[in-house]
Amino acid sequence: MAITGLLLIAFLLMHMVGNLKMFLGPESFNHYAEWLKGEILYPIFPKGSFIWLFRFVLLASIVAHMYSAWVLTIRDRAARGSNYVVTKRRAQTYSARTMRWGGVILAGFLVFHLLQFTTRTFLTGFTATDDPYTMFVKSFSGPMSFMVILYALWLVAVCMHVRHAVWSALTTLGLNTSERARGVLNSLAWIVAVLLFVGFIAAPLAVMFGWIK
Amino acid sequence: MIINLRVWRQPNAQTPGKMVAYRVEGVSEDMSFLEMLDLLNEDLTVRGEEPVAFDSDCREGICGMCGVVINGSAHGRASSHGDVPTTTCQLHMRSFADGATIDVEPWRAGSFPVIKDLVVDRSAFDRIISAGGFISINAGSAPEAHSVPVPKLQADRAFDAATCIGCGACVAACPNGSAMLFTSAKITHLAMLPQGQPERYLRVKNMVAQHDAEGFGGCTNIGECADVCPKQIPLDAISQLNRDLLKSLFKGEGKTA
């Protein structure tokens, strides 16, 4: 759970940095997209092969993450047994409480995201042959773009999940060694979550306001 | 004071229980929560009804025998005056308003079956301790204390963890029905001391295996347990358990520890 989750968060951070290349113009962004699909670790790996290894690891992480979550949930439900007539929640955060269903919602959004930008079966204002930069701009342009709102909602869900995840994963791996460490881990979780939100929403917002054309 | 109680009544593990309302009159604000229940039971006995079964022993907050969920919070911390960590026996009626309605339920967890009313079977905890919560030494005359130096900070951490009284509030409060805080308190206590080292990694494997075999849930680091813990065992005890468990994977059954 913890290890696969951290791998996925590392991917998100990388993905975020990549998206920020939108601010460097079409050439930079398109070149980056080309490099992703073809030239990572070339020439030791043949062109276009490493991306499949990369995708396999990500997919395996997602599957393993969901499987662990499923097993843990079944076990925890059984362990809880009957419910209280009255329950007072005291320490738990909204993020912690919504990890399970939040995760399911994230998986749904992810499928949509891949259909939209990777396989290009679900076209949001662009054509299947557009280059990545144009695809990005056309998807998020226009005042009060519906796509930007949907994307922001998704990001809120992602970042809530990540907020509890960073703290929880590092605790599970034994890093919460003191009261002070607890503060540090919780701060780190907030920093990663906010960084991801700001980093991902920046380019779509810039497109919506017409700063990136 | 007059207190309106809604108490979980369940004749035995097989029969389903329900909340039953009682009115308790003549409650003094200096009574402990358990003394208020005693008052109710005296009244029930006089009326020829079955008294409410609940566990208690020392009634001074150090034995871990008592424990009920009060207004949805284990040991009633949420109701306590000044929001202090407490055991049920150390919660006093001055924490409640005159005429208040109070819900009283037993610890609920799959591994804590109800025996009767508010009494649950916590023998799963004993089996977790039997699985490794000890050190194997030959008893005899006590050795000179200074022959085995213990750094102050480690001694403090061991002592803080050792204050766990095994009441089960952590399990009662955990949304996952996990006993990780209880198990990790013993792991941390012994892992901090020189005497605990020889069996350190075998202990963590065995105790976690027993914890899981008892049907307790897995920890998702939510933190409800540490909040209601009357002895304030910190969440970092669980991280210490995880750390030792990870290390134990690289030590053949802990023999090389």
- B219:A85 CB<8 A: no
Is residue A43 reached through a cis peptide bond, with omega within 30 degrees of 0 on the bond before it? yes
Nearest to A79 among B78, B215, B238 (CB): B215
- DSSP code per residue over A125-191: SS-TTS-HHHHHHHHH-STT-HHHHHHHHHHHHHHHHHHHHHHHHHHHTT---SHHHHHHHHHHHHH
Q: Which amino acid is at A53?
A: L
- Per-residue pLDDT, B254: 52
Quick: pLDDT tens for A143-188: 778 899 999 999 999 999 999 999 999 999 999 999 999 999 999 9
- Per-residue pLDDT, B257: 42
Would you say residue A87 lies in a domain? no
Would you say residue A56 lies in a domain? yes
User: Pairing relation of β-strands B101-105 and B3-9?
Assistant: parallel
Between CA A100 and CA B222 the distance in angstroms is 13
Between CA B255 and CA B257 the distance in angstroms is 6
Between CA B27 and CA B46 the distance in angstroms is 17
Nearest to B236 among A82, A172, A181 (CB): A181
Residue of B227, B236, B242 to mutate, testing the A interface (most A Cβ within 10 Å of its Cβ):
B236
| Tens digit of each residue's pLDDT, chain B (257 residues) | 999 999 999 999 999 999 999 999 999 999 999 999 999 999 999 999 999 999 999 999 999 999 999 999 999 999 998 899 999 999 999 999 999 999 999 999 999 999 999 999 999 999 999 999 999 988 888 888 888 899 999 999 999 999 999 999 999 999 999 999 999 999 999 999 999 999 999 999 999 999 999 999 999 999 999 999 999 999 999 999 999 999 999 887 655 44
- A84:B108 CB<8 A: yes
Would you say residue A146 lies in a domain? yes
Domains for chain B: give ranges and CATH numbers: 3-105 (3.10.20.30), 122-138+147-254 (1.10.1060.10)
**Pair B106, B118: CB distance under 8 Å:** yes
- Total of domains in chain A: 1
State which H helix or E strand residue B20 sits in: strand B18-24
Is A95 in the B-facing interface, judged by CB distances under 8 Å? no
Would you say residue A75 lies in a domain? yes
Between CA A122 and CA B64 the distance in angstroms is 60
- B224:A89 CB<8 A: yes
Nearest C-alpha neighbor of B110 from the set B9, B230, B15, B13: B13
Would you say residue A137 lies in a domain? yes
Tokens representing residue A60 in the block: 């395996």
Is A110 in the B-facing interface, judged by CB distances under 8 Å? no
Residue of A171, A173, A178, A186 to mutate, testing the B interface (most B Cβ within 10 Å of its Cβ):
A171
Q: Domain residues for A195?
A: 2-81+93-208
- Per-residue pLDDT, B137: 84
